[in-house]
Structure 1
Amino acid sequence: MNITENQQTGKASISFHRPVFIQSCASVAGKKEGEGPLGSCFDQVWENPMFGMDTWEAAESTMQKQAAFLAIQKAGLSPQDLRMVFAGDLLAQTTASSFGIADMGIPFYGLFGACSTMGESLSLGSMAVAAGYGDHVLCATSSHFASAEKEFRFPLGYGNQRPLSATWTVTGSGACILSSAPPAEKSTVMPSPLRTGKSCIQITGITTGTLVDYGFKDSMNMGACMAPAACHTICQNLLDFHRKPSDYDQIITGDLGDVGQHILLDLLLKENIDIQSRHQDCGLLIFDNPSQDTHSGGSGCGCAATVLAAYILPKLLSGAWKKVLFVPTGALLSKTTFNEGDSIPGIAHGVVLEHVSL
């Protein structure tokens, strides 16, 4: 195939002519996440939130590195086999990634898309593989409840009350290996490669998000900040690919939570688009409310990433779903601009995942 062939689709999407396979995935989660509905699906659940380290930031770095190592191991690869890594987190200067995956010696791109970072990582990784710039690419993100609270809100010892619109930052990390070749039928290193017989999972297209700012300034209501961006990306994806919601088995957003989900569904109905029967949200999947008392649900870079690896990809591999639109969402919150009274813009990146037969 001539890789210079135009793969642009519509205004903001790409349809990959060269296959992009997901070779493996891995998820590492904290104790609270392990007690939720997906607890048995994670590769690792750590009881100690410090992950054996002395600081919250180092704990998150360790968690992200462990998820990356597991994904590499599942694919039967070593870090030296990877052409590049796209990784990010919520912390300033992508601290968790810089002190985690970056010291594995893989050419590194640090990303910030807030809670949409897994969508950003998969998008860029897919473009790199489809263009022939790397045969094996690692995509990963992480978040940690304590490091995020320290970074953006209040010290944990302060014990502030959280409004019902607030979400709970997920302590977790997810990682995927993208490749130009399908997964091997059997892994000699670890079980559960992302292949069953002649079936596997491809990323067949992406829709790059656009910044959407409705003027919200409430840092305790991330769902309201992100829902308009999710609406925009879903509409753009359907328009660019000439699809209807029914063309997808599921449309799964990142971490809008209960508040954001209601706003998204209302905004889409105003565009005459009804996705209620096939919409799920990672922030509502990862915790059991009200028993876990996370208020509106889960959030953080690790929310969409761990749910993708532990729940969405296995469903696709089994054939229960054939085509999923995965839309991680992010509220681009900055401590500086927030304290200066500015609004919080949102963004959402769409990734089309498909069960395919070889």
Structure 2
Amino acid sequence: MRRVGKQTIVFQDPPLILNHASVVGPKEGEGPLQKTFDLILDDTLFGEKSWEKAECKILQAAVNLALDKENLGRDEIDFLLAGDLLNQNISANYAARQLAIPFFGLYGACSTMAESLILGAVLVDGEFAEKVVAAVSSHHDTAERQYRFPTEQGVQRPLTAQWTVTGAGAALIGKGEKGTRITHATVGKVIDLGIKDQSDMGAAMAPAATDTLIRHFTDTGRKPADYDLIITGDLATIGKELTHQLMEQQGYPLGENFADCGLLIYDPTQDTHAGGSGCACSAVVTCGHLLHSMSAGMYQKIMLVGTGALLSPISMLQGESIPGIAHAVVIENY
């Protein structure tokens, strides 16, 4: 069995993250992680006529950059696993049309990067593929237009709201002898405690993050201190604090090694309110800052917990609550 406990996969021959790339918009490029990104755009349109077309182009750029770093052609990649936040995954779908790589379209909201890393590692470890690319994108203006209000309306955002990251991250996963590996994955369950405020994603996702973290520690016998860093996708200020409280109540207090991508990507002076969010939030932090830090020896073992709020505009209009999901990926150097 390649599984321990109820929800955790242990990879027999842990796949390597062969290379990675991150592309971000101008706001993200002004933040504290600016030196870790491969490409910072001058504007949010990226030479296109709409934000949706720009997002598709950003995703393509991230994939191509990751392949270029390994001098690989697209015909040398077995599968592309990609997703985004838009209806019918249009950014990933149209990017896949241009990239012409056999394609799995994924949707886990902001947890999609962790989901794609897990499934990519399953394909490689199971010897169904030699090389796969896991990639996601999001765009502040496309997400605002779909889920809330077009930015042109200038609607005032509550302080609990998060800022959707404009960007894309791509990770190339394959076989190898030494390097940064995906060793474990804990697949989350959908958790819903009845939160209905679509401007407070952190509160909706914190219970799912807590459930997955506890399941990971229960399945593996590990504890929070076994990791150099435990980092959630985009719980931001409110969700991170709630997760701290919930984990402590369950007997798993998180220490100073607990961080959140949504809090790292922006400086407080950038007026993003609670912090960052979106598929690209965890993707660009992982495919930039985190993997660079691991290559430099700053971390040896980290756990990324991708968090997602599984709402839609229709479900909100119909009075539904917001289900959350969280997937955990353990990345180690050896």
TM-score under structure 2 normalisation?
0.99
Of residues 89, 92, 95 in structure 1, which corresponds to 2:87? Answer: 92
Query: Partner of 1:219 in structure 2?
Result: 198
- Residues 152-231 of structure 1 aligned to structure 2 (within 5 Å): 152-182=147-177, 200-231=179-210
Q: Distance in 2 between matches of 1:59 and 1:140?
A: 16
1:352 aligns with 2:330: yes
Q: Would you identify which runs of 4 or more consecutive aligned residues in structure 1 move more than 4 Å?
A: none
Query: Partner of 2:129 in structure 1?
Result: 134
Query: Partner of 1:68 in structure 2?
Result: 63
Query: Partner of 1:21 in structure 2?
Result: 16
Q: Is the 8 A contact 1:24 1:177 kept in 2?
A: yes
1:306 aligns with 2:284: yes
Query: Partner of 2:231 in structure 1?
Result: 252
Q: Distance in 1 between matches of 2:240 and 2:218?
A: 21
Query: Partner of 1:32 in structure 2?
Result: 27
1:151 aligns with 2:146: yes
Q: Distance in 1 between matches of 2:97 and 2:32?
A: 32
Q: Is the 8 A contact 1:143 1:300 kept in 2?
A: yes
Query: Partner of 2:275 in structure 1?
Result: 297
Number of residue pairs the alignment of both structures matches: 334
CA RMSD of aligned residues (A): 0.8
Shift of residue 333 of structure 1?
Answer: 1.2
Find the residue that maps to 2:192 and give its secondary structure: coil
Residue by residue over 1:105-142, the C-alpha shift from the partner in whole angstroms, topping out at 9 and shown as x without a partner, is: 10000011000000000010010000001000000000
Q: Distance in 2 between matches of 1:156 and 1:284?
A: 22
Q: Distance in 2 between matches of 1:121 and 1:325?
A: 15
Shift of residue 302 of structure 1?
Answer: 0.4
Query: Partner of 2:293 in structure 1?
Result: 315
Residue 224 of structure 2 aligns with an amino acid whose one-letter code is: P
Q: Distance in 1 between matches of 2:96 and 2:134?
A: 10
Higher mean C-alpha displacement, 93-102 vs 30-39: 93-102
Residue 286 of structure 2 aligns with an amino acid whose one-letter code is: L
Of residues 241, 246, 264 in structure 2, which corresponds to 1:267? Answer: 246
Residue 127 of structure 2 aligns with an amino acid whose one-letter code is: G
Find the residue that maps to 2:304 and give its secondary structure: strand
Q: Is the 8 A contact 1:332 1:346 kept in 2?
A: yes
Q: Distance in 2 between matches of 1:333 and 1:47?
A: 31
Q: Is the 8 A contact 1:61 1:101 kept in 2?
A: no
Query: Partner of 1:325 in structure 2?
Result: 303
Residue 319 of structure 1 aligns with an amino acid whose one-letter code is: G
Shift of residue 316 of structure 1?
Answer: 1.4
Q: Distance in 2 between matches of 1:340 and 1:276?
A: 39
Q: Distance in 2 between matches of 1:157 and 1:7?
A: 50
Q: Is the 8 A contact 2:36 2:292 kept in 1?
A: no
Find the residue that maps to 1:109 and give its secondary structure: strand
Of residues 278, 281, 289 in structure 1, which corresponds to 2:260? Answer: 281
Find the residue that maps to 1:328 and give its secondary structure: strand
Q: Distance in 2 between matches of 1:303 and 1:92?
A: 19
Query: Partner of 1:190 in structure 2?
Result: none
Find the residue that maps to 2:127 and give its secondary structure: coil
Residue by residue over 1:159-193, the C-alpha shift from the partner in whole angstroms, topping out at 9 and shown as x without a partner, is: 111111000000010000000225xxxxxxxxxxx
Find the residue that maps to 2:299 and give its secondary structure: coil
Shift of residue 200 of structure 1?
Answer: 1.5
Q: Is the 8 A contact 2:32 2:264 kept in 1?
A: yes
Find the residue that maps to 1:115 and give its secondary structure: coil
Higher mean C-alpha displacement, 140-149 vs 272-281: 272-281
- Residues 99-138 of structure 1 aligned to structure 2 (within 5 Å): 99-138=94-133
Q: Distance in 1 between matches of 2:277 and 2:251?
A: 28
